[in-house]
Chain A
Amino acid sequence: MTDSSIVYTVEVLHPSTRYTLQELCEISRLTEDVVVKYIDYEVIFADGPNGIGFTHRQLDRLMKAYRLQRDLEINTSGVALVIELLDSNQKLERRIRQLEKRTTLVEE
């Protein structure tokens, strides 16, 4: 069922949108202790100008880390490693796709 009469206007969260630590806690519904622990383990970091404030990318990472920790029963240090590996995996996959497009594989 499509209610085509309603068109939702969206708010784009630009790379320039910044959250404070309190806002991060509010949106993620995690306690400050939990969020600070993720900061200590460098799962997330203040990536605003001059190292002040968190971008939406950090909120995504925070939620992902929390879900992984909760659902896969891994400790914070393990989650930090998983997030790091996922990041590098994603970069490599992108690079591979880029190269694959450029190369025609010749097999002998």
Chain B
Amino acid sequence: MEFVDYYKVMGVAEDASADDIKRSYRKLARKYHPDVSKEADAEEQFKKVAEAYQVLKDPDRRKEYDDLRKYGVGTGADYSPPPGWHSQAGFDSGDFSGTGAAGFSDFFEELFGQKAYAHRSHHAESDYATRGQDVHSRLGITLQDAFFGASLPVEIGRPTIQTDGSIRTEHRTVNIKIPKGIVNGQTIRLRGQGGPGIGEAPAGDLYIELNIADDELFHLDGKDVSITLPIAPWEAALGASVQVPTLAGKVNLTIPPNSASGNKLRLKGRGMPGTPPGDQYVMLAIMAPAANTDAQKELYRQMSELWSINPREHLGVEND
């Protein structure tokens, strides 16, 4: 494994005061906290920062780390702690600050985590039993997957008890069946797929919040979808029957005569499935064709004479 330079992660000097470390943590936590951050890799970054802070904020842990760091930095990917290394400072999972399922890095686990801690712990021998931790995570899906339902490969970080009694996060990819008609932000539960129970107690559950990604054509609002439909001026004025894409395929839509841009038409039951299903709203947008040929220009001139309107009347301005 690679030696992690926690001072570098926190952006502080190795002789930084406890206050400096705290200040740096606050700044980075605000920037990367997955619940507020817009950064692409916020969760990953925050985990690193939280891990570094767990070590550097505790004087005992920091001292142990400093001793290891003298020899560890620059060893590349081949770092392993000195033989017989056991942390005296340990780590109480009560002040665990990671937010996701994956927990801290192998590096941390090896030095301060439950594996290092297990040598001093007697929990494993006792009759103590408690239900495993529930694990919460998020998954982005496409609108099509939400509409049709899908079987998707998902990486699950699942805390697992090792033979020596320590807990490690095992990553594996499993297929999850997403039922059709999922609404954005809806949560699914996989029973028993969370953290392992201690003693005889059952495992926790895995909760996955499903987030539907923005679609190029369709805008989702609850169970309803909306789409902007460009139409020609003559279709708007005379009325027309035009094809409209829906999530389930194309349908024909009748545009009433004298329709205007911004008018909304409803296709009942063409939204997301459910009881009752959502609707599809079609927002009309009239596209004015460019006048390129003399004949086209002439037609526009004739129109301006036929309709002596001021489209900006409501703005309180007049035609020239």
Query: Which residues on A are within 8 Å of B, measured CB to CB?
Result: 1-4, 6-15, 27, 29, 56-57, 60, 63-64, 67-68, 70-73, 82, 86, 94, 97-98, 101-102
Contact B175 A4 (CB under 8 A): yes
Query: Which residues on B are within 8 Å of A, measured CB to CB?
Result: 26, 29-30, 33, 35-36, 46, 50, 97, 99, 133-134, 136, 151, 153, 172-179, 182-183, 185-191, 193, 207-209, 214, 219, 221, 226, 228, 283, 285
Chain A residues whose C-beta falls within 8 Å of the C-beta of B46 in the assembled complex: 71
Given the known A-B contacts A12-B186, A67-B99, are A7 and B177 also in contact in the complex, defined by CB atoms under 8 Å? yes
Contact B174 A67 (CB under 8 A): no
Contact pick for A102, options B183, B208, B285, CB 8 Å: B285
Contact B175 A102 (CB under 8 A): no
A44 shortest CB reach to chain B, Å? 15
**Total number of residue pairs linking A and B with CB closer than 8 Å:** 89
Contact A6 B189 (CB under 8 A): no
Contact A15 B97 (CB under 8 A): no
Q: How far is the CA of A26 from the CA of B236 in the complex (A)?
A: 58
B173 shortest CB reach to chain A, Å? 4
Chain A residues whose C-beta falls within 8 Å of the C-beta of B33 in the assembled complex: 67-68, 71-72
Contact B178 A10 (CB under 8 A): yes
Q: How far is the CA of A53 from the CA of B243 in the complex (A)?
A: 45
Contact pick for B174, options A6, A57, A98, CB 8 Å: A6
Chain A residues whose C-beta falls within 8 Å of the C-beta of B179 in the assembled complex: 10, 12
Contact B228 A71 (CB under 8 A): no
Contact A72 B30 (CB under 8 A): yes
Contact A60 B209 (CB under 8 A): yes
Given the known A-B contacts A70-B97, A101-B228, A102-B283, are A8 and B136 also in contact in the complex, defined by CB atoms under 8 Å? no
